[in-house]
Structure 1
């Protein structure tokens, strides 16, 4: 920025202003290299400065503004304009450029580098001294409403047909017509599912070189046709957001959307993240979260988490890496023997989900405490639902009076860890775990992660990574302030 006469106004911004501290501490120049591959270096008009646009996205999340409001406020806010590197009299880019930069520049780049860059800056400044990671997940509601299976099928078929006809009007008569369904028709979902499959096959035959919007809509149609849980109203529940999933927060509270799984140091710097559909298992994310953190050069000696992470595979992996698991054991997750495919235990709701998405209605403990043999926790399902389930073949035997799923509790394998759980050192370290709850609250309440702003897993991941970048920067400033000698 070449200073103008009006730049004298920037002297009015206090030295203690948060944006002055951020500008002094954080190096934003990395964004040039990050988005280089998404720009043409030799043709077209020069692009707006990538760092300027990234700083605008940063301000947008920091202060919770929409694209339009961000540009409006930056035009009249001296601190904002100084932070993005413009003179007071200069105009800002159009609000639509924020969306293009977010989706087509950052989105086309190695977006995971955002998190790596800011964590490495923290390491270089000596802000991370702990050797422990704290794991947890938090959910984000989808940007769309969940729908019935029939409505999903109708909407997807309608969108695919409309997109094809708009670009190729002459094909309308060659495509299969949507069936007319009677009110309360018993097999309406099956009829529409068959029609959607026919429509997708016809489009592929008539337009073998399809691309763009047609390819996108066709891919969604295929995904829905192949979703075995759809007709049980447990799989894909949105025609416009097919990657959002139905999940449980507790035995009685559910949600529709996504999960953000994070790893955080004791200094409250987030070092790794996995974004999944709402139905995913928290425990399965531990290996990737650990791997991401180790690749940054962090030394990890402890992992703190709740019972969701106490699976035997996780505990074995941590032991192999000589990492102490500060994780309370749940007898349900150390199961032995063969595990029936598709059945998963949900630690938040304390029930088992079957492949069709139905959850168990009660549980019972079987076996003697004194016999020395393994005991079993048996989960019971609603047989009436099993009788009509589209996935009952090979799962439910006709005429059976009950459908159960048993988990063996093998205490011997975890004898050492159970003894460790009772120690004072374990109890003391577990008291540190709740700090991640405060971090989740900050992400959701103050920076918009409670709900997805856009649709799809890709855009949810983009929102999560940008939000974590902002929250990590805020934490950097606080840690740097603590390091300053008091006058």
Structure 2
């Protein structure tokens, strides 16, 4: 017999427990067990007035934002709508079945005022990293660093030429995103990263970089910089920057220093691609930090015209000279050119009678060899290439690429909603919180066989 849907309400009263409606294996239960926000109210207390009407609980807003980023809900309006109807989300946000949902406009004000004043998102991220440390998911022996371009909320059709953009404008008459950018002009990750004038600037978000790095149509973007531990791919730090190499390298240094200061973590080795193989970066890693750079050296000394390259000359560190293939010496005057290069020159008399001159310097009276002042650190980096540890780092570096793929494809953060340096930083930190929480929930609940011992 065919059943029929009841048209009336039936019972007048119901006994309903929200927790019983959430399955035991639901992701929100695992994340709730890992997310500790008990410290939040005392942390934000100085930013609230002691008088007036009570505000929306900041823990509720943080939990709703976590739900949004964990489950790829890319709009605060939609977050409010989903929490309204989804029982699991309500349970995670500590809301009853009849509790009201905050208006979406409350998030914007809290984020731009109290949350940024108290650096709340950064503190939540650090607490999640500490939970990963406590669970044994961070080894601390090897790190990897990289950056990924995220499209900005900026329109090419409304952009202006780079030379027409003026940095000396009045901040009081500018939008929030422009004020934030003007405040970062001395920051190595933003305004001070490069003196090169960009081709186009977006008046609505001047921090966004016009870039064609993907070898396709150019677009406005910001760089999301990740520093991960290679054991399980946990993100130990995150930083927003301009989408240029100098800014991304500077962000890597900032993250390494901050991770050591905040968590006491300093890796034995760092894996990265060639963009981080600059002489100054390698020198900083080798001489100042004592970290083995498993990074391909950015070297353009190899010649393709059939003449001897710099690698054909042997450097003698004891005498500070180069020996050419003919056994002659190249010496330096000690003058540093362009603040980074020493020139080693051969004698004209030696080169003039040398039978190897056509293969060495056919168009010059004598041969000269440029040597970076940080060449020793570059030699250290070259010594790792081909070793077992270097090959291992190269394989493990794929984990950071997987983090970015997960960010864009699963969490759907392939375009920013917020503008300005602070807006980009907020989105990147919240996304890193979501990725670490999902990682923590997955590995602690069902650890892989080789991880059982270290998590126990």
| TM-score, length-scaled by structure 1 | 0.66
Structure 2 distance, partners of 1:221, 1:50, is 29
In the alignment of these two chains, the number of paired residues is 371
Structure 2 residue 23 is the aligned partner of structure 1 residue 14: yes
Structure 2 residue 34 is the aligned partner of structure 1 residue 51: no
Label 1:265 to 1:319 Cα distance change in 2 as closer, same or farther (>3 A).
Answer: same
2:107 pairs, out of 95, 98, 104, with 98
Which range is displaced more, 426-435 or 437-446? 426-435
The 3-state SS of whatever aligns with 2:52 is coil
Structure 1 distance, partners of 2:21, 2:257, is 46
Question: Contact 2:175/2:204 (CA < 8 Å) preserved in 1?
Answer: no
Correspondence for 1:39 = 48
Structure 2 distance, partners of 1:113, 1:464, is 14
1:307 pairs, out of 269, 274, 283, with 274
Correspondence for 1:283 = 249
Structure 1 distance, partners of 2:388, 2:182, is 55
Structure 2 residue 303 is the aligned partner of structure 1 residue 294: no
Structure 1 distance, partners of 2:71, 2:294, is 36
Structure 2 distance, partners of 1:95, 1:81, is 16
- 1:240 deviates by 0.8
Q: Greater Rg, structure 1 or structure 2?
A: 2
The 3-state SS of whatever aligns with 1:241 is coil
- 1:409 deviates by 6.4
Structure 1 distance, partners of 2:386, 2:416, is 41
Structure 2 residue 308 is the aligned partner of structure 1 residue 368: yes
Structure 2 residue 152 is the aligned partner of structure 1 residue 146: no
Correspondence for 1:386 = none
Question: Contact 1:244/1:257 (CA < 8 Å) preserved in 2?
Answer: yes
1:85 pairs, out of 83, 94, 110, with 94
Label 1:31 to 1:421 Cα distance change in 2 as closer, same or farther (>3 A).
Answer: same
Structure 2 residue 293 is the aligned partner of structure 1 residue 325: yes
- 1:33 deviates by 3.5
Question: Contact 1:310/1:328 (CA < 8 Å) preserved in 2?
Answer: yes
- 1:219 deviates by 9.0
The 3-state SS of whatever aligns with 2:147 is strand
Structure 1 distance, partners of 2:370, 2:306, is 9
Structure 1 distance, partners of 2:443, 2:91, is 24
Correspondence for 1:451 = 415
Question: Contact 1:236/1:244 (CA < 8 Å) preserved in 2?
Answer: no
2:394 pairs, out of 430, 451, 457, with 430
Structure 2 residue 137 is the aligned partner of structure 1 residue 127: yes
Label 1:95 to 1:409 Cα distance change in 2 as closer, same or farther (>3 A).
Answer: same
Q: Deviations over 1:73-96 (max 9, x none)?
A: 211211111111111122211121
Label 1:449 to 1:49 Cα distance change in 2 as closer, same or farther (>3 A).
Answer: same
- 1:125 deviates by 3.0
Q: Deviations over 1:246-291 (max 9, x none)?
A: 2342555643210011100122111112211223423333321211
The 3-state SS of whatever aligns with 1:128 is coil
Q: Deviations over 1:111-166 (max 9, x none)?
A: 432322211122233332341111010111110113577x469xxxxxxxxxxxxx
Correspondence for 1:273 = 238
Label 1:478 to 1:115 Cα distance change in 2 as closer, same or farther (>3 A).
Answer: same
Question: Contact 1:6/1:88 (CA < 8 Å) preserved in 2?
Answer: no
Structure 1 distance, partners of 2:97, 2:286, is 58
Structure 2 residue 116 is the aligned partner of structure 1 residue 107: yes
Structure 2 distance, partners of 1:233, 1:30, is 44
Correspondence for 1:394 = none
Structure 2 distance, partners of 1:366, 1:106, is 61
Label 1:222 to 1:460 Cα distance change in 2 as closer, same or farther (>3 A).
Answer: closer
Question: Contact 2:69/2:411 (CA < 8 Å) preserved in 1?
Answer: yes
Q: Deviations over 1:345-372 (max 9, x none)?
A: xxxxxxxxxxxxxxxxxx9779623455
Which range is displaced more, 279-288 or 53-62? 279-288
Structure 2 distance, partners of 1:101, 1:128, is 32
Structure 2 distance, partners of 1:412, 1:213, is 47
Question: Contact 2:90/2:96 (CA < 8 Å) preserved in 1?
Answer: yes
- 1:468 deviates by 0.6
| TM-score, length-scaled by structure 2 | 0.71
Correspondence for 1:420 = 384
- 1:217 deviates by 6.9
Question: Contact 2:21/2:88 (CA < 8 Å) preserved in 1?
Answer: no
Question: Contact 1:147/1:237 (CA < 8 Å) preserved in 2?
Answer: no
Question: Contact 1:6/1:89 (CA < 8 Å) preserved in 2?
Answer: no
Question: Contact 2:156/2:219 (CA < 8 Å) preserved in 1?
Answer: no
Label 1:117 to 1:422 Cα distance change in 2 as closer, same or farther (>3 A).
Answer: same
Which sections of structure 1, spanning at least 5 residues, go unmatched? 154-188, 205-209, 336-362, 375-406
Structure 2 distance, partners of 1:442, 1:123, is 21
